[in-house]
Structure formats: structure tokens, C-alpha cells
Amino acid sequence: MQLDVMTLFPHWFDWFREQRHVKNAMEDGHEVRTFNPRDHSDMSARQVDDTPFGGGAGMVLRVDVMEKALRGVYAQDPVELRKERRVIALTPGGRVLDDAFVDELAAEEQGITLLCGRYEGFDERIVQHFCSDTLSIGRYVLAGGELAAMVVCDAVLRKLPGSLGHANSAVEESFSVALDGDPEYPHYTRPAEYRGWKVPDVLLSGHHAEIETWRRARSRERGDGGSRLGR
Ligand code: SAM
């Protein structure tokens, strides 16, 4: 799968590509590519943004520069491109990312393209005419789309075969179908007792069916709002 990121700060992704699960996915043939709209600007000083019509603070990414950048990468009118490929504007007000949205994106055989905003964000015509989706990683505002793009790439890549060490790791985890959409159950490891805090007996029992029942119940409990932690 091709995960393409349009960003003014492509070097941020050098670190991301070095991470083990990302490397695994890339060795398996998946790609995380970055493109800088600045490389496609023919304005002076390779300008990519401008002041907002109507006034106000900040700078807005220009629609003509984004078109050139998308045409440069895909050799296609971006208005047509979005009919064939998920081109996603990262924006705080977009569709909030959840496991179902990640599954949808991971199923995109063509690959996906993530557009990172900066400053005030995008000229709205970029979103309206070049994008198939908007995506928010949560209802708060980051300085730019790069971290949001990494969140999306990370979540999508872990869904792809080969990127995780253990084949089952992504099957039975929080919000998966296997857990009926509930959060995952608690895990414990050695020591079996620490400062008087004991691992639940059932997990040491070796009874697989009982362990399964216990885990399912804990998972459901968490789905129902979980328990409040002390402090
Ligand atoms: N003026 C915009 C607003 O009020 O909605 C905020 C722009 S923000 C400072 C700059 C860029 O960061 C956005 O264009 C977007 O690409 C990215 N960004 C910020 N918060 C985000 C979030 N929660 N999810 C996805 N992208 C986000």
C-alpha cells in the first residue's frame, strides 16, 4: 500500500520511517512517501501560502500550488484523482479517526494521500475539489498536519499483514471485531505478585476457556465505561 503525505516538512517522516513496524511494512512492499508542495511552487521564494481574503491572522495554503503539487506527483487533474484515490485533508474539524475509519483506509488498495495543513490551514477549494475526505485525529488543534499524518500512517500500517511481529496482534485488540468493538482486556506478566498486587488467579490457571471468558468480561466492562482509577 502507498501512503503518500503532502507536507512542508518531509524530514519529520525520516524518524517515522526508521521505526521497526514501519520498516517491517516497507520491507513487505508498503510505502510511506512524502512530497513537498514547495517543490512544485513556481512563485517567488517558492511561496505556498497567502493571506486570507476577508482578513484575519495567519496564512492559508494556496489552491493553485496544491494543484501543481498533486499534478506533479500523480500526473492527473486532482479533480479526477479524488474519484480514484482517497485524498484526505487533515483538519481538526474533519471526520474523527476511529478503528472503523482506519479499517476503511487500510482496505484502499490504490493507497491514500494525506494533505498536511500548516498555519491557518487550506484554501477551502482544496478540500472541496481535490479531497475525498476530511480527517481529524481529535477535537483539538495541532500546529500542523504532520503528527496527524503519522497517527494515520501508524494506525493503517499496523492493520496491514507483515508490519507486526505477531500475526494475531492486530486481530484481537481494542475496538476490533473480535472484541465486538470493546477495548482490550488487561494484560499481566511476571512477577505474579508485586508489592502485594496479585495477578488474577484465572490467568495462572491454564484453563483457556475460563481465561477467554474472564478476558471477554473485562473487555466488556471497559466498553461500558470502565472503572475509575484512584489517584
Ligand atoms: N485554523 C484551523 C482551525 O481552526 O481549524 C487550524 C489550523 S492548524 C493550526 C494547522 C493544520 O494542522 C491544519 O490545517 C491541519 O492540517 C493540522 N491539524 C491541526 N489539528 C488537527 C487535528 N486535530 N487533526 C488533524 N489535523 C490537524
Give yes or no for residue 25 CB within 6 A of ligand 1.
Answer: no
Q: What atom of ligand 1 comes closest to residue 140's alpha carbon?
A: 23
Q: What is the pLDDT of residues 157-208, one digit of tens each?
A: 999 976 666 555 667 899 999 999 999 999 999 999 999 999 999 999 999 9
| CATH 3.40.1280.10 domain range(s) in the chain | 2-157
pLDDT band of 4, cuts 50, 70, 90: very high
Residue of minimum CA distance from atom 5 in ligand 1: 92
Q: Considering the chain, what percentage of its residues have pLDDT values greater than 90?
A: 89
Give yes or no for residue 143 CB within 6 A of ligand 1.
Answer: yes
Is 2.60.120.260 the CATH number for 2-157?
no
| CATH 1.10.1270.20 domain range(s) in the chain | 177-223
Q: What is the pTM of this model?
A: 0.95
Give yes or no for residue 157 CB within 6 A of ligand 1.
Answer: no
pLDDT of 15 = 98
Give dist(CA 37, CA 68) in Å, integer.
8
Residue 119 has pLDDT above 60, yes or no: yes
Residue 72 has pLDDT above 80, yes or no: yes
Pick the CATH number of 177-223 from 1.10.1270.20, 3.40.50.970, 2.102.10.10, 3.40.50.300: 1.10.1270.20
Scored b (16 or more CB within 10 A) or e, 139-159 reads eeebebbbebbbbbbbbbbbb
pLDDT of 207 = 98
pLDDT band of 229, cuts 50, 70, 90: confident
The mean predicted confidence, pLDDT, of the chain is 94
